[in-house]
Amino acid sequence: MVACQLRRLALRLEADLPTIGVCFGAQMIAAALGADVYPGPVKEVGFHSVTVHENARAGPLRHLAGVPILHWHGDTFTLPQGVELLASSHVYDHQAFRRGSKLLALQFHAEMGLDKRFDAWIEQWPESVVAAGGDEARLRAAHDALGPAAVRAGQAMIAEWLAGLKLRNA
């Protein structure tokens, strides 16, 4: 099924249709653009901020600067040709990229700070929390303390990205 989804995604990207991918979605976008996706050396699970690169500080990702956001992955990817790297973390270099104004790929989860699925993730993948050097209680406490600000920043980022699409298509 993934091969079919990758083909469809590649066609969407070829048509330059507005597309955003989060976590596995960012990995799929990278793969559809010809990059390698592979298991990283460590799990990145927990709340910490990303470094928003200079080229992205005036755009939608500026809302994330200095805001701890949720990371929950162990895979990473090479940067596809023709894209612009927007953000990195202390664990993985490739956290966000764009191609033009219509493609945005985010390896992290700025949307998950208030989502009830967070509890299901901990229950389903407790080994990921441990493999990243954390524990369930600290991660839940971080979610409660940092989640609302992460979601506000994520919503502001997405709203600005969507508004940019509307302006260009008006």
Residues acting as catalytic residues: 23, 109, 111
How many Å from the N-terminal Cα to the C-terminal Cα in the chain? 36
d(CA 13, CA 130): 36
DSSP H stretches of helix in the chain = 2-14, 24-32, 117-124, 126-131, 136-169
- CB of 105 closer than 8 Å to CB of 25: yes
Q: Which residue has the tokens 């989804």?
A: 5
Rg over CA atoms, the chain: 16
